[in-house]
Amino acid sequence: MQLSGPLRKMVTRLETPVAYELPVGEHRITLNAHIGAPVALHHTGAIHCIHCGRATRKSFSQGYCYPCFTSLAQCDSCIVKPEQCHYHEGTCREPAWGEQHCMQPHMVYLANSSGIKVGITRASQVPTRWMDQGASQALAVLEARDRYTSGLIEVIFKQHVADRTDWRRMLKGTPEPANLAEERDTLYDACASELDDLLQQRGADAYRRLPNGVPTTIDYPVQSYPQKVSSLNFDKTAHCTGTLMGIKGQYLILDTGVLNIRKFAGYEVDVTL
């Protein structure tokens, strides 16, 4: 099989293990069946913005051209740091986009990918966000009425728990199981006064706790994990070839290195399976 076109982030379905599809142009390649087989990806040198489609010499923020990167709300710094949302100041780059994506219910969650971490995502993105991050366990602990509020809660929680994934550690294997429900209850207690203050500031409907949630366990299609993680990079070499040993998060795990598909969204490639 040989297909050509711009890459997009892999599409996932929560199955056992996670089912992966790789979008290449207008095509979607079902990847799970190819684990254990040779794969080759060749970057043609062309990059197209994933928003406007224009050709660009350099990709910004995982797939955008520079004009889109500097003008779209989805590329603003508050997407990475939602506690810095400035919609209420009237300075949102795209208010309609903000209303559609940010002024929607968001989940504050705990995940175990390289250890326990806190994160946020739109309620509609559960469990996709967890699979994209390579989490082996995940649990929604609060539901906030909007992204800004969820970001404020994340700031409170990350005084007690990490907010980042060690991607190299995540790709070396499955982490030790964690008791996420116990960790949730510990955070409820440790942050009680600050969470109460937030309700006073943001209103009684700012968020609700989810004390009875059940953790989700996620298995990935991996034959073997690398002992040493080395990244493959289309900006350094046009050819990425090897045996597909597995898939986790948005990474293809080859016997020659790991490739972050999301990082290279918009890159035109020839894929041979």
Into how many domains does the chain fold? 2
**Pick from 173, 192, 217: which residue ends a domain?**
217
Residue 44 in domain: yes
Q: The tokens of 251 are what? A: 């990474």
Q: Is the residue at 85 inside a domain?
A: no
pTM as predicted:
0.96
How far is residue 266's CA from residue 51's CA, in Å, rounded to a whole number? 9
Q: What pLDDT digit, counting tens, does each position of 131-166 carry?
A: 999 999 999 999 999 999 999 999 999 999 999 999
Q: pLDDT tens for residues 64-108? A: 999 999 999 999 999 999 999 999 999 999 999 999 999 999 999
> What is the widest separation between alpha-carbon atoms in the chain?
59
Choose between 165 and 1: higher pLDDT.
Answer: 165
**In-domain check, residue 99:** no
Percent with pLDDT over 70 in the chain: 100
Q: Is residue 69 part of a domain?
A: no
Answer positive or negative: Cα dihedral of 208, 209, 215, 221.
Answer: positive
At 214 the pLDDT is 96
As a whole number, mean pLDDT of residues 50-57 equals: 97
Indicate if 109 and 176 belong to the same structural domain: yes
Q: What is the pLDDT of residues 246-267, one digit of tens each?
A: 999 999 999 999 999 999 999 9
Domain that holds residue 124: 104-217
203 and 242 assigned to the same domain: no
Contacts of 240 (CB under 8 A, 6+ apart): 40, 41, 42, 43, 232, 234, 254, 256, 257, 259
